[in-house]
């Protein structure tokens, strides 16, 4: 404590040596670094929430894409295809579409893949910006062959 005399009065300055804090305990770490820790936790929560929201929105669009694409292909080519639509939502979103038609139809229509890409670009602009892989496969009729084999073995 320092006392100074100015005229008729006194001014008292409380000057002392600052007390050194304990910087090794967990209380110190939580008090000084707590803002950083909660900031990281909050950031991770926001990132996860954004990915979940984005994933749900894409899955809803994928359901309507499958239904609409099936109707579109049935109108254009006259046969209903077997469709399998999958989506992988990570840092990059990837859409995988597998279309099964009879071999004759696949051989006679080389622009089938272009028609599918065009349909997605015209009707689903949100999905058109993602990587899309279209696989055209022949329609397999293995189920009937397997049933016939079982019938032959039973006799």
* 67-109 confidence digits (pLDDT tens): 999 999 999 988 899 999 998 877 788 899 999 999 888 888 8
* Comparison of pLDDT for 17 and 56, the residue scoring more: 56
Residues 109-121: pLDDT tens digits? 888 999 999 999 9
Fold observed for domain 56-154: GMP Synthetase; Chain A, domain 3 (3.30.300)
What are the extents of the domains in the chain? Answer: 56-154
Q: What is the pLDDT of residue 50?
A: 86
Per the structure block, which two tokens stand in for 28?
């110190």
Predicted structure pTM score: 0.61
- Look at phi and psi of residue 6 and say left if phi exceeds 0, alpha if psi is from -120 to 50, else beta: beta
* Six token digits for residue 97: 């579409």
Sign of the torsion angle spanned by Cα atoms 63, 75, 136, 133: negative
d(CA 155, CA 109): 43
């Amino acid at each position: 404590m320092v006392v100074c005399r100015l005229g008729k009065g006194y001014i008292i300055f409380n000057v002392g040596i600052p007390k050194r804090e304990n910087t090794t305990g967990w209380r110190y770490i939580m008090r000084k670094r707590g803002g950083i820790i909660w900031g990281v936790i909050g950031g991770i929560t926001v990132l996860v929430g954004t990915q979940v929201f984005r994933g749900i929105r894409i899955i809803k669009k994928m359901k309507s894409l499958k239904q609409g694409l099936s109707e579109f292909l049935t109108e254009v080519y006259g046969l209903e295809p077997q469709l399998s639509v999958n989506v992988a939502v990570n840092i990059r979103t990837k859409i995988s579409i597998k279309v099964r038609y009879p071999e004759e139809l696949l051989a006679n229509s080389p622009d089938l893949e272009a028609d599918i890409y065009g349909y997605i670009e015209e009707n689903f602009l949100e999905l058109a910006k993602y990587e899309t892989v279209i696989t055209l496969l022949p329609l397999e009729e293995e189920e009937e062959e397997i049933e016939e084999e079982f019938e032959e073995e039973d006799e």
